[in-house]
Amino acid sequence: MSAVRASFGTDTRVGFIGLGVMGGGMAYCLLRKGYALQVYARKPQAVEGFEEAGAQASATPAALGEACELVFLSVPDAQAVEAVLFGTDGLASTLRPGSVVVDTSTIAPAQARDSGARLRERDVWFLDAPVSGGQQGAESGTLGCMIGGPAPMVDAVREVMSAFCKTITHVGELGAGQAVKACNQVAVAGALLGVADAFALARKEGLDLAVMREVLMGGSARSFSLDKHGPRLVSNAFTPGFRAVLMRKDLRLALESARRSGAVLPAAQLAEELLDALCESGRGDWDWSAAALEVQRRSGLDIPEIPEGG
């Protein structure tokens, strides 16, 4: 087996797979910091802006893996991670011994451990490193990362990851990053439920929503959710942000972990139920905070229509 590399730096050929809302922001951060970047996305048009900014595009994950020793993933779900790593023309077929894959996607802890074990058979390292901070954090390089895996490998990738992360916390062995991310999503979903109830009650009482929010922000009800999502509920503006369909996926992962461990998560269950109704109503691409609208709908209140054409 290859020795653990002490660190990766600006001389490292870095690969990035997945250039959506989150991955795109992280990839641009790496380019701004001067990293030689190789990129791949399923939709060829997604790489055009990155090529103009100085990145090189790869035709397949395998081609990217052949050119890079450190690869980041930011893809939507478990199936995409499996395909990118082990599918036809996947990374695993070409990565050199000693290479490192850092997965910033949100998947189940068990899948992270399984992927890591399969890559170790090829002498490749795998770290699970889900992030928090949303699109704005990705674009500004201020994400928080909870990372699982061997401590020496975590230390080796810190310098590169600092291009898009403000905090990088090693939380345990492989899979622990995903477990902490699940806790994060459960906590923020629960916080939104209280804000959703407050806005539904305020509307039923005929209150000025902006004034109500301002009063709450000045007292013990102040929270990140009220601060960030409250203005969306005041103005009914739900451009993501973080899409509802992805938050639903994250909560389902958390609830599945809870079922396996025997934990009971009533707030997360309700939040997933509200998000499911939101997504099934055709609003899955709205910001996930629009789940609060489902509380208003159940209260007999009108909610925004879906614009014509989606």
- State the Rg of the chain over Cα: 21
Give the total number of structural domains in the chain.
2
Domain contains 3: no
pLDDT band at residue 214 using 50, 70 and 90 as cut-offs: very high
Q: Which among 155, 173, 191 is the end of a domain?
A: 173
309 pLDDT higher than 60: no
- Tens of pLDDT, residue by residue over 119-170, are 999 999 999 999 998 888 999 999 999 999 999 999 999 999 999 999 999 9
Q: Give CA–CA dist 21/165, Å, rounded.
A: 15
Higher per-residue confidence, 257 vs 307: 257
Name the active-site residue from 166, 181, 204, 249: 181
Domain contains 155: yes
Q: What's the pLDDT score for residue 169?
A: 98
- Tens of pLDDT, residue by residue over 6-36, are 678 888 899 999 999 899 999 999 999 999 9
pTM of the predicted model over 0.85: yes
For this structure, is 249 an active site residue? no
In the chain, pLDDT over 70 holds for what percent of residues? Answer: 97
Q: What is the CATH number of the domain that holds 163?
A: 3.40.50.720
* Helix, strand or coil, per DSSP, at residue 175: coil
Long-range contacts of 298-307 (CB under 8 A, 24+ apart): 299/200, 299/203, 299/204, 301/200, 301/203, 301/204, 304/236, 304/238, 306/281, 306/282
Question: Does 193 share its domain with 294?
Answer: yes
Q: Which domain holds residue 287?
A: 179-298
Helix residue ranges, H only, 148-265: 151-161, 176-204, 209-217, 224-235, 244-261
Question: Does 24 share its domain with 167?
Answer: yes
Domain contains 221: yes
Domain contains 87: yes
Domain contains 303: no
Strand 100-103 to strand 125-128: parallel, antiparallel, or no bridges (unpaired)? parallel
38 near 66, Cβ under 8 Å?
no
Q: Give CA–CA dist 51/202, Å, rounded.
A: 49
